[in-house]
Amino acid sequence: MFKQTVLLTGAAGFIGSNFVRYLFDKYPDYRIVVYDALTYAGSLDNIPRKIRDSERFEFVYGSVCNGAQVMAAMRDATIVVHFAAETHVTRSIYDAADFLQTDVIGTANMVGAAHDAPHLERFIHISTSEVYGSIRPGLDTMDEDHPLEPCSPYASAKAGADRIVYSYWKTYGLPAVIVRPFNNYGPRQHLEKVIPRFITSALRDEPLTVHGDGLASRDWVHVDDTARALDLIMHAPLGAVVGEVFNVATGIDTSISEIADLVLELMNKPKSLLSSIGQRPGQVDKHLGDARKIRNLLGWFPTVTLSDGLERTIAWYSTHQDFWERMLWMRKIKIRTAAGTEFH
């Protein structure tokens, strides 16, 4: 009856829930199954009632850390998109255990179950650009062959997961594809991440705090562009993508300070709201992606400019206080290092 059954882990979170909306609207003959442990980062409210009530949609409450549960959830799946992870760098600095458990062991459970799943055609693993660490001196951009030099426990857990998936393709021929998105932003991103934090701080006329000098730069990708990239990877001929790694990046880097300035400018707020806090340990200096591979092979390129994307994201947070007001306590959390530096 359904053309595909797509199992999406972690899709009650930011990127996954945006992708669920995209898939639901574009592919009416697909069944969508979300498998999520609903941690502090996930909420079923991120998936609209129209989708949740549809007979094409199913939610399975479960953890990727539970191998038996994962195996059961994968029984009917033809495509898996594995988003589930602990994702916040700062949290990984004060408690790496959850990251190793969910990101590494959870991914090992996923590929182990995928290997035995009777109908599986494709396994798409959502890795991250964080696995590269900072750009190697002398290089202009980071392509898929850039060395993996993860700087934080989050990044190293994701690097482990990335390579576990690769090894299942190499060893067992699992039809796996690895995707390394650069920094995503857009609606429904948790307040612990920098762009929603800046926007909601500005909305409340509270300080926008940057780590250290604010010069650390990132390649910012709007979540809608990531959804289009995942769509292309999901539907490309398998032979063109299997065993491959794809960056999803714009090729433009913008510093955290510049992001803060842009947010203030777009929201007509004074620069005096800018303030700084201690440098975060394990900070990546510069991230700048090379997306020529996905452009040349699959025709993907980013369509949302940073200023347009920020404007849209500001508009969303301005009208969705219900989403973020419950997360405001996050702002109060600061970590103090042994040397007395504070960061969040």
Ligand X SMILES: NC(=O)c1ccc[n+]([C@@H]2O[C@H](COP(=O)([O-])OP(=O)(O)OC[C@H]3O[C@@H](n4cnc5c(N)ncnc54)[C@H](O)[C@@H]3O)[C@@H](O)[C@H]2O)c1
| C-alpha angle 209-213-217 in degrees, rounded to nearest 5 | 90
Q: Which is nearer to ligand X, 269 or 293 (CB)?
A: 293
Helix (DSSP H) and strand (DSSP E) numbers for the chain: 14, 15
Q: Which is nearer to ligand X, 86 or 290 (CB)?
A: 86
Strand partners, 87: none
CB of 236 to ligand X, least distance (A): 20
Q: Which is nearer to ligand X, 120 or 157 (CB)?
A: 157
Q: Which is nearer to ligand X, 211 or 273 (CB)?
A: 211
CB of 257 to ligand X, least distance (A): 19
What residues have CB less than 8 Å from 8, skipping those under 6 apart? Answer: 16, 19, 20, 32, 33, 34, 35, 80, 81, 83
CB of 313 to ligand X, least distance (A): 13
| Residues found near ligand X in the complex (CB under 6 A) | 9-10, 12-16, 36-39, 41-42, 63-65, 83-87, 102, 106, 126, 128, 158, 181, 183-184, 190
CA 125 distance to own-chain centroid: 11
Q: Which is nearer to ligand X, 87 or 217 (CB)?
A: 87
Q: Which residue in the shown chain puts its C-beta closest to ligand X?
A: 13
CB of 53 to ligand X, least distance (A): 20
Residue type, 8: L
Residue type, 265: E
CB of 218 to ligand X, least distance (A): 9
β 79-82/57-61 pair status: unpaired
Rounded CA-CA distance 178/20 in Å is: 19
Rounded CA-CA distance 132/85 in Å is: 18
Rounded CA-CA distance 104/8 in Å is: 17
Q: Which is nearer to ligand X, 36 or 262 (CB)?
A: 36
CA end-to-end distance (rounded Å), the chain:
49
Residue type, 35: Y
